Structure 1
Amino acid sequence: MKIMRITAGAFVALALVLIVITAGCTQSAGTSTSGTAAVPSTSAPNGTVGILETAGVGPMPSLLATGQIDGYIAWQPVVEAGVESNIGQIAVYSKDLPPAGEWSDHPQNVFVVRKDFYAANPDFVNDFSALNIAATQYINTHPQETAAIDAEWLAGGQNFTYGNVSVSSGTVVNNSLPTIEFSNNPSDSWKASTSDFVQALINLGTVKGFVANSTSQDAVLYNFQPYTSATAILASKNVPTPATIQSTVGIGYLNAVDHSALFVAVKNWQYFNDTYGIALKPEDLTKAKPDVADFIVNGQKVATVNLVPANAGPNLMQLAATNSIQLSYVGVPPAISAIDQGTPITIAYPIDNLGSGLVVANGAPAEDWRSFAAWAKARSDAGKPLVIAAPGKGSIQDVMIRSALQSSGITVTEVKV
């Protein structure tokens, strides 16, 4: 079901957002006549595209619906929300972005752990990792149930509403799940693809510290022991009961379908408790989006867990740096950048692959990357460069769109807010 509505409150909120954005954009060349913010033209042979970094993905559908941007690159469910609402069309899914073949099975999110927390609480982390792996198996075997859980968590079972854009959460999540590959296996091919992100970040000048200068990126980035221990726990069906943790444990996540493993584990806690002897039971069972849960192993509560949402991956890594969270589901590039900057975390295993996409306005002459690049050049030549929103500098989507534009000879400028 596709619905477009504007409530009084949403209209005021949207108007304020648009005033801030349009007033705050820095422009050194003329004003766009297409309704989008103008960016400077350059002599780049293949044109110029302006990147507008937003606070997460929430504003994107509204910005596209009101002509403030020409497109956006986002994670699910915001990609499919743009299509379901009839405000946008898919130009290209992330797997088909250039350079050719580089992102065909790209990592999306990983599970990261503060090193000091793992050293002090290995059994807790290993058991929690076993729960993650079991939840991933559940997602892959119960897609309809997962979609219902996601819709409940992300929208309380109601419509997704982005300013004046409102669409069925159930339909959007159902359309989103098949675009994501849920897997926890840190295979050699997965590591090779993660290395592509490292190189892209180095090329963009974002990574230039520990990771960039390391002679062994594997040693700097990874500790797969939680994954190895968790798979052994599930195989043996012998779950060790960790020592009780007196302090509250913080776990970070995004309101994204990519992080379904967390949502499934919490909302279906009784199933995992009965099947595996591990559960993340919400303290308030009536909440659509719980924020506090008990981690229970073999019937014993071992920790109180705060579930901490954020707007984008870099925000989660700031929380990890200050020890506000000890575990996190997060995008690969923010994790790499945080490690590069000295945040004492390690990547324990993957959460999912793929699941991002570039959405452009309905009717735009962009049905794949080649036609998008041609459109970008034509608009740039006409003095009206495209403006594409990305969810925060250093996010997965930001890195991929910048890398794709760079590989196509398109100059990137930044639209400031």
Structure 2
Amino acid sequence: MDNVAVQSPPAARDARPAAKEPTGFDRFRVIVVLGALIALGPLTIDMYLPALPAIGNELAASASTVQLTLTGTLLGLGIGQLLIGPFSDIVGRRLPLIIGTALHILASVACLFAPNIAVLGTLRTLQGVGAAAAMVVALAVVRDLFSGRAAATALSRLMLVMGVAPILAPSLGGAILLTGSWRGVFGALAIIGAVLLVVAIFALKESLPPERRQAAQFRPVLRTYRQLITDRDFVLLAIVAALAMSALFSYISGSSFVLQEQFGLDQQAFGLVFGVGAVALIGASQFNVVLLNRYSPKQIVFAALVAATVAGLILTALTTTGTGGLYGFIVPLWLVLGAMGFVLPNAPALALSRHGEAAGTAAALLGAGQFGLGALIAPLVGVLGNDGPAMAITMTGGAAVALLALGVVVRLGGTAEPAV
């Protein structure tokens, strides 16, 4: 793959950030603040997972219907990013972040009083829209301040948070369920949102100066989106990132039913086993920083997708035949999630490196693709049976098609390798 010529599109000429990249303590501070903010998305998605069966019982909804509340969250995350990304390119990063986080808090409070599954699903969608602000702004700030391998390294550090949050979220949700109902989970999310709102107001500096902002007009926004979707390599790399994320959401969507109902784990044990997968994601994303010193992001993504596809086929075979029981499910699943820990920071970095002049809009389109596809995949696990084979098939399918999409990028002679 290294013999492929680097082709930088016209839009990538402004790929480098205008400001000096932060170093030392400033770099550490930026990553910590962005990590705290980006945690809102995974916490919103994962904290209520142990409560899915209980929600179905109380609101008289089937498992697949309850999973649609997760679909609503992912849909909100996708749509929210499409709206917030261009808005952040026009007015800067801080204002959209503050507005979105406030919306998340209000929706979380309203979830406490949801009378039925339809209302809960609607409010979860609004939660997703609010959480989208933190996720798209965090990506855009990374692109504002970092470039090339530094951007991939910063995203790897954020993946540490994206990995820790799923470990803590189900366990925290399970702890709340020990002393209260599933509604208490949304009260906790409101409190977390309030804390992060304070962080957004007082700890995050504006990273997009006025002279680099887009015009406050509708047509330029459409023109920017048109430039993005006509950049073949950006689209293909966005598809790679979205398919990798869909494999992760297949696990998120079905894990509570597979582990609790098929394998008989209680809510607390589910939280611990769920965390094992997050440990794999964390370890891989942090080891990715080491690998970046020797290999390009493109090489790492290719190798990781091959490994994920092979591990996914093994997972599918073991779960379909019932071989190995719980360990036959967890071990290959751990390998798939570990492989995705290499894909998830590198694929977005490759895509975003092509459009530094519209980082917010590019991050929005990238995130919308990831969560939009996740919204489609989440109920698919339920439709296929909410069991181990259903989860394995959807995860493996996502990894395999992502590998094919990356192969198209290379075969057609294009690459979005970041400049160094």
Q: TM-score, normalised by structure 1?
A: 0.22
Looking at secondary structure, tell me which structure has more strand per residue.
1
Structure richer in helix, relative to its length: 2
Q: Please report the TM-score for the alignment, with normalisation by the length of structure 2.
A: 0.22
- Larger gyration radius, structure 1 or structure 2: 1
